Chains A and B, each alone.
Chain A
Amino acid sequence: MELLTASNIIFFILAAAIILFGILTVTSKKVLRAATSLFFVLFCIAGLYLQMNYQFLAAVQLSVYAGGIVVLFVFAILLIKNLGEETEQLCGAKRALGIITALTGLVISLITIYKYGFHTDSDRCNDIAAIIDMNEIGQTLMGTEKFQYILPFEAASVLLLACIVGSIVIAQNHKEEKK
């Protein structure tokens, strides 16, 4: 395997950025900074998707996550008074426990990945590495055949509807009650 092909270098850069900003997300004391780091993490993940030739997915990732969800976070942070500037104090014991848990899980998972030994057929990958047709994606989403996903699609639409209604109801300002 050639290490220093351009795509490899990009992968490593993206991977390093994901890990770095991920760590910043969970460690930065100011929530607004954490949200910014989160944005970069999501952005880099979209880059990973692009690397795997999944352009549509990368686009969705960018628009929904980076464009929508992160903005939602930022709004929420700004709505909540002082949260943007407030720093939070973490208790040492709690942090140690968190680190131990995370490291244990990490070690177990990495050992498992290492031992499993994936046999990927890179030639076959390369054959099908072509850009996936949008047409195909649409067929897959709407079709009722095997490997087609009309039912989850409809379920997701209902979920989104319920979510919109729920958010409105929950976030409603109960002014009537105050009167």
Chain B
Amino acid sequence: MELTNLAPIVLALPLLMFMIIGLFGYKMTPKFSGILGTTAFSIVTIVCYYIALTYFFGSGRLADGSMAKEVIFNFEWLRFSENLVISIGFLLDPISAMMLIVISTVSLMVHVYSMGYMHGEEGFQRYYAVLSLFSFAMLGLVVATNIFQMYIFWELVGVSSFLLISFYYTKPSAVKAAKKAFIVTRFADMFFLMGILILSFYTQTFDFGPLTEVTNNHVAIVSETMGGVTFCGLSVISIAVFLIFLGGAGKSAMFPFHIWLPDAMEGPTPASALIHAATMVVAGVYLVARLFPIYFFEAHDVLTIIAYIGAFTSLFAAVIACTQTDIKRVLAFSTISQIAYMMVALGVSGYEGNEGLGFTASMWHLFTHAMFKATLFLAAGCVIHAVHSNEMDAMGNLRKHLKITHIAFLIACLAIAGIPIFSGFFSKDEILVAAHEASPVIYWCQTLVAGLTAFYMFRLYYRIFWYNEPDYGHHTPHESPANMWIPLMVLTVYTCTSGFFPFTEYISPDLMGFESHIHWNIAIPSVIVALIGIGIATFMYKKKTEYPDKVVACIKNTYHYAYNKFYIDEIYLFITHKIIYKCICDPIAWFDRHIIDGFMNLLSWITNKTSLEIKSFQSGNVQQYAWVFILGVLSIVALTIYL
């Protein structure tokens, strides 16, 4: 079948489902709406797989061995002027095809899983409607042919994220979290928009085609139009792409915009799995990857900054993750840390041939991370479903009660820790290789993070599945229904196998592909570090021991800082409440309330008074009329005679 005919289905069907379930959901039974959404998304998934596989193994490989950039369709949506056109299209290249697989797989699994997890919840239909909206938006984002289309869908995923976080909108904490997520990401998106405007102002195009066209180690359109232009001593290119990166940092929860992601865990767990672990949060990574040629050739400094921000964020989040007790928050910080890993990989990447390893590794890690983190979240969902709590203290010794979940969780933990044969090992190894070539600081930092990752993941694992069994009362945890553990198993299979797919041959910044092999000199130390992490976790958390308390006592201050997320939230609150509100907002509000409103009030007051006065002229009292009349006559007489 022609891709041109199939591709529109990928976007149209989820949108249609959103509208059908959203508008008519209240007339459907919850079960019907769930099955409808899932069935429709199965079709989308099949189409996505067909498109991606056709692309990778058929039409995508050009005669010279490079991967094609196909624009399947691209129609003009808005034309503002000769050059300023916003199109909606469908771009197929290695990374968007890979993203199609990631999104459709995870989203389908979440659709299926939610039927069990969300069973009996108020607003089940609404949940499915928003899930469809999110799928539509995310698919539209990855296949965007131009940066403005990307921005539109970028905001749409933000909206659906907001709607899903605030799904339990009667809970004040959920409402707060949703607002926080929305405001923080919107704040970052403002920079993204500024970046887009600067970039398109100079290059006169939104289209990714020319914007990523590399000739002679330059992105011609960018270097020709923007080269040499400076603003405040910085080149405009750097400013523009750095602003765009800030947008991506907001969505991908890079430091200092990471504060919204842990709170976003207030949403339903499957939604967290889909949006806040596997797909939406990697949009920032995807954005940088999409514009990688500009970053690499025209603003290499920015790329270095990205690498350092990524390295710092990954370490920072990993440290916090070690101290958290809410299992979803541990996973959230783990997500931040892993996404930062991908950013690091992009930041240290080269461009041609083997040097593009970082880029490839980033995308590879994106893929494997989506799979194992979705597994982890869905497994955590099963656990929460079984014990009705997010807190570690309410769990323990669950391996006896939740056998399937236990296996899935263990495999995913091994994958994220980077133990060989599981997918995370391969992608993490590639990242470390790329980091090693670029900078020893980043390399050691990332190796340390790998160890920390292993530690906190196994801490989580042991706390949930081993440890001492708390008093479950007469409510013994039991395994989830089939529609929950089947998706879990499917994702586990992906987690085990996706490391063996030869990503490097298909995904590379110059589209040429290259051979890769495991670098044992890097891999062995990282595996050893991971094993040490696992070992410490086993030692401390397999059974209830006094070691954790002792360790905490030793590093009391550090522990408290980390436990309170290094007080970043408090710093934000201080800056916003004490500085911005007090010094900027309050005077503005005062000005608005007293000067602007006051002026308007004055006008209305004058009008009111005047009309009251005028009204009293029309009293209906003849004598008063006569009096006014006489005065008028007298003044006319006086004027005509004496003037």
Neighbour of B634 across the interface among A97, A98, A108, CB < 8 A = A108
- B627 & A101 in contact (Cβ 8 Å cutoff): yes
CB interface residues, A 87-107, toward B, < 8 Å: 97-98, 101, 104-105
Would you give the shortest CB distance from A105 to chain B, in whole angstroms? Answer: 5
Would you give the shortest CB distance from B632 to chain A, in whole angstroms? Answer: 11
Contacting residues, chain B, for A108 (C-beta < 8 A): 634, 637-638, 641
- A104 & B627 in contact (Cβ 8 Å cutoff): no
Nearest residue (CB) in B for A104 is B634
Would you give the shortest CB distance from A173 to chain B, in whole angstroms? Answer: 26
- A97 & B627 in contact (Cβ 8 Å cutoff): yes
- A98 & B627 in contact (Cβ 8 Å cutoff): yes
A101 to B634, CA, bound (A): 9
- B641 & A105 in contact (Cβ 8 Å cutoff): no
Would you give the shortest CB distance from B635 to chain A, in whole angstroms? Answer: 9
A101 to B635, CA, bound (A): 11
- A105 & B634 in contact (Cβ 8 Å cutoff): yes
Q: Does B630 contact A (CB under 8 A)?
A: yes
Contacting residues, chain B, for A101 (C-beta < 8 A): 627, 630-631, 634
- A105 & B627 in contact (Cβ 8 Å cutoff): no
Number of A-B contacts (CB under 8 A): 15
Q: How many residues of B contact A (CB 8 A)?
A: 7
Nearest residue (CB) in A for B631 is A101
Contacting residues, chain A, for B627 (C-beta < 8 A): 97-98, 101
Q: Does A112 contact B (CB under 8 A)?
A: yes
A101 to B638, CA, bound (A): 13
A104 to B627, CA, bound (A): 12
Contacting residues, chain A, for B637 (C-beta < 8 A): 108
Bits for A44-88, please: 1 = Cβ < 8 Å to B, else 0. Answer: 000000000000000000000000000000000000000000000
Contacting residues, chain B, for A97 (C-beta < 8 A): 627
Known contacts A97-B627, A98-B627, A101-B627; A112/B634 CB under 8 A = no
Contacting residues, chain B, for A105 (C-beta < 8 A): 630, 634
A97 to B627, CA, bound (A): 9
Would you give the shortest CB distance from B399 to chain A, in whole angstroms? Answer: 97
A18 to B631, CA, bound (A): 25
A98 to B627, CA, bound (A): 8
A105 to B627, CA, bound (A): 12
Nearest residue (CB) in A for B626 is A101
Would you give the shortest CB distance from A116 to chain B, in whole angstroms? Answer: 10
Nearest residue (CB) in B for A94 is B623
Would you give the shortest CB distance from B629 to chain A, in whole angstroms? Answer: 10
A104 to B634, CA, bound (A): 8
Would you give the shortest CB distance from B125 to chain A, in whole angstroms? Answer: 69
Bits for A2-35, please: 1 = Cβ < 8 Å to B, else 0. Answer: 0000000000000000000000000000000000
A112 to B638, CA, bound (A): 9
- A112 & B631 in contact (Cβ 8 Å cutoff): no
CB interface residues, B 213-270, toward A, < 8 Å: none
Bits for B606-643, please: 1 = Cβ < 8 Å to A, else 0. Answer: 00000000000000000000010011001001100100
Contacting residues, chain A, for B630 (C-beta < 8 A): 101, 105
Contacting residues, chain A, for B634 (C-beta < 8 A): 101, 104-105, 108
A108 to B630, CA, bound (A): 13
Contacting residues, chain A, for B641 (C-beta < 8 A): 108, 112
A112 to B630, CA, bound (A): 17
Would you give the shortest CB distance from A98 to chain B, in whole angstroms? Answer: 7
A145 to B641, CA, bound (A): 35
Nearest residue (CB) in A for B630 is A101
Nearest residue (CB) in B for A115 is B641
Would you give the shortest CB distance from A87 to chain B, in whole angstroms? Answer: 19
A153 to B641, CA, bound (A): 35
Would you give the shortest CB distance from B47 to chain A, in whole angstroms? Answer: 87
A112 to B627, CA, bound (A): 21
Would you give the shortest CB distance from A97 to chain B, in whole angstroms? Answer: 7
Would you give the shortest CB distance from A79 to chain B, in whole angstroms? Answer: 22
A105 to B634, CA, bound (A): 6
A104 to B635, CA, bound (A): 10
Would you give the shortest CB distance from B501 to chain A, in whole angstroms? Answer: 99
Contacting residues, chain B, for A98 (C-beta < 8 A): 627
A48 to B340, CA, bound (A): 116
Would you give the shortest CB distance from A22 to chain B, in whole angstroms? Answer: 17
A112 to B637, CA, bound (A): 10
15 A-B pairs, CB-CB below 8 angstroms?
A97-B627, A98-B627, A101-B627, A101-B630, A101-B631, A101-B634, A104-B631, A104-B634, A105-B630, A105-B634, A108-B634, A108-B637, A108-B638, A108-B641, A112-B641
**Contacts beyond the supplied A108-B634, A108-B638: 13 A-B pairs with Cβ under 8 Å:** A97-B627, A98-B627, A101-B627, A101-B630, A101-B631, A101-B634, A104-B631, A104-B634, A105-B630, A105-B634, A108-B637, A108-B641, A112-B641
List the 4 closest A-B pairs by CB distance, nearest first.
A105-B634, A108-B638, A101-B630, A104-B634
What is the interface of chain A, defined by CB distance below 8 A to chain B? Answer: 97-98, 101, 104-105, 108, 112
